[in-house]
């Protein structure tokens, strides 16, 4: 953790709880990929830039989650650089109440903000306005959040944001927050094509063997779908499903965990519904789901 690692001729990774990518141009200007969770992470990034006498050309935010965009405001204010993201993601960074509101389903309670739902609001430009070095590509990675992207640097290094989660994380709990499961399945299939390339997930070690991790992520989605289906032999409310799953995985009984699990369960139910595997009914003011 907290190592600055060279991954290619001009490509580096600052390994943090959220890995940060650096692509350095021949003019010593850096495209910074994500900014870490907060001001502390931003200061670490600045230290590296100062040490090498590099300046920021642009910040590319893969998506709006706080652990990727939390250091953005500090970096922008400290250096005067511009941050870029896709049109959907930039809205969430400019209006940080929206992310917890989407996950919770209403204006978020203060108790739900915490470290990971607290992006300092920051102006972000549309990534379409950013000029990129030759061989530098943006990769669409829909599923995890509104319109997440990854980056391929000219050194053939792939920064994959949160498109794949580490096996350790999935082993402790196979369900993570996913905005759109159908798109996530498609993204995972796509990522398998990068086998043999150097890939950098945001929360796992850089690897040349991304296909097995992508498969493990897919199997985890399948597993959660199977568990949910097994619980829906009779009509069950979302509330009861959340309770079953929190007990099954021995999850901490906190506001944050409850909301994240509840949101995750509803995401899986929508996927199952769109694939005609479950049906629902609203009865006496409760919504029940049942296997078809």
The token pair at 112 is 């739900």
Is residue 99 part of the contact set for Zn ion (CB under 5 A)? no
DSSP symbol at 207: B
The least distance separating Zn ion from the CB of residue 58, rounded to whole angstroms, comes to 20
Closest distance of CB 17 from Zn ion, Å: 12
| Nearest residue relative to Zn ion (C-beta) | 65
- Interaction between residue 65 and Zn ion (CB under 5 A): yes
* Rounded Cα gap, residues 110 and 113, in angstroms: 5
C-alpha distance from residue 45 to each of 145, 149, 201, 263 (Å)? 24, 21, 18, 33
CB of 195 to Zn ion, least distance (A): 23
Q: Does 141 bind Zn ion (CB under 5 A)?
A: no
Smallest distance, Zn ion to C-beta of residue 247, A: 26
From the list 34, 89, 147, 162, which residue makes contact with Zn ion (rule: CB under 5 A)?
Answer: 162
Given the rule CB under 5 A, which of 44-52, 100-108, 154-162, 213-221 is the region that contacts Zn ion? Answer: 154-162
Rg (alpha carbons) of the chain, rounded to whole number = 20
Q: Tell me the window of 44-52, 64-72, 99-107, 151-159 that interacts with Zn ion (CB under 5 A).
A: 64-72
C-beta of 57 vs 63, nearer to Zn ion:
63
CA distance 33 to 72: 10
Number of Cβ atoms within 10 Å of the Cβ of 255: 13
Size of residue set near Zn ion by CB under 5 A: 2
Locate the DSSP E strands across 35-194.
55-60, 83-85, 125-126, 137-140, 149-152, 157-161
Q: Using DSSP bridges, classify how beta strands 125-126 and 137-140 pair: parallel, antiparallel or unpaired.
A: unpaired
- Shortest distance, CB of residue 90 to Zn ion, whole angstroms? 15
Q: Which of 146, 145, 143, 142 is nearest to 87 (CA)?
A: 146
User: In angstroms, rounded to a whole number, what is the distance separating the alpha carbons of residues 2 and 215?
Assistant: 28
Give the tokens for residue 266.
Answer: 């509803």
Measured from the CB atom, is 65 or 268 closer to Zn ion? 65
Cβ 107 to Zn ion shortest distance, Å? 21
What is the C-alpha separation between 20 and 159, in angstroms, rounded? 9
CA 105 and chain centroid, separation: 19
Minimum CB–partner distance for residue 268 and Zn ion (Å): 17
Nearer to Zn ion, 14 or 54 (CB): 14
Based on CB atoms, which residue is closest to Zn ion, 32 or 232?
A: 32
Interacting residues toward Zn ion by CB under 5 A: 65, 162
């Amino acid at each position: 953790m907290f190592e600055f690692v060279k991954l290619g001729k001009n490509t580096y990774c600052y390994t943090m709880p959220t890995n940060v990518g650096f692509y350095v141009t021949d003019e010593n200007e850096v495209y910074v990929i994500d900014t870490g969770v907060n001001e502390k992470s931003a200061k670490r990034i600045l230290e590296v830039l100062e040490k090498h006498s590099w300046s920021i050309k642009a910040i590319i935010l893969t998506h709006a989650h706080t652990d990727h965009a939390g250091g953005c405001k500090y970096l922008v204010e400290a250096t005067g650089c511009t941050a870029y993201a896709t049109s959907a993601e930039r809205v969430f960074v400019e209006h940080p109440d929206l992310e917890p509101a989407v996950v919770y389903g209403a204006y978020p309670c203060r108790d739900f903000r915490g470290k990971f739902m607290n992006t300092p609001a920051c102006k972000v430009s549309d990534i379409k306005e950013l000029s990129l070095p030759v061989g530098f590509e943006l990769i669409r990675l829909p599923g995890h959040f509104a319109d997440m992207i990854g980056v391929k640097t000219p050194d053939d290094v792939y920064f994959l944001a949160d498109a794949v989660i580490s096996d350790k994380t999935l082993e402790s709990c196979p369900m993570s927050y996913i905005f759109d499961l159908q798109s996530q399945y498609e993204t995972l299939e796509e990522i398998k094509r990068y086998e043999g390339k150097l890939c950098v997930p945001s929360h796992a070690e850089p690897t040349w063997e991304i296909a097995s991790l992508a498969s493990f992520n897919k199997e985890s989605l399948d597993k959660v779908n199977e568990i949910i289906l097994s619980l829906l032999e009779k009509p069950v409310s979302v509330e009861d499903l959340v309770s079953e799953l929190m007990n099954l995985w021995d999850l901490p009984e906190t506001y944050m965990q409850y909301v994240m699990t509840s949101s995750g369960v509803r995401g899986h139910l929508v996927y199952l519904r769109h694939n005609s595997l479950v049906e629902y009914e609203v009865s006496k003011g409760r919504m029940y789901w049942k296997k078809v």
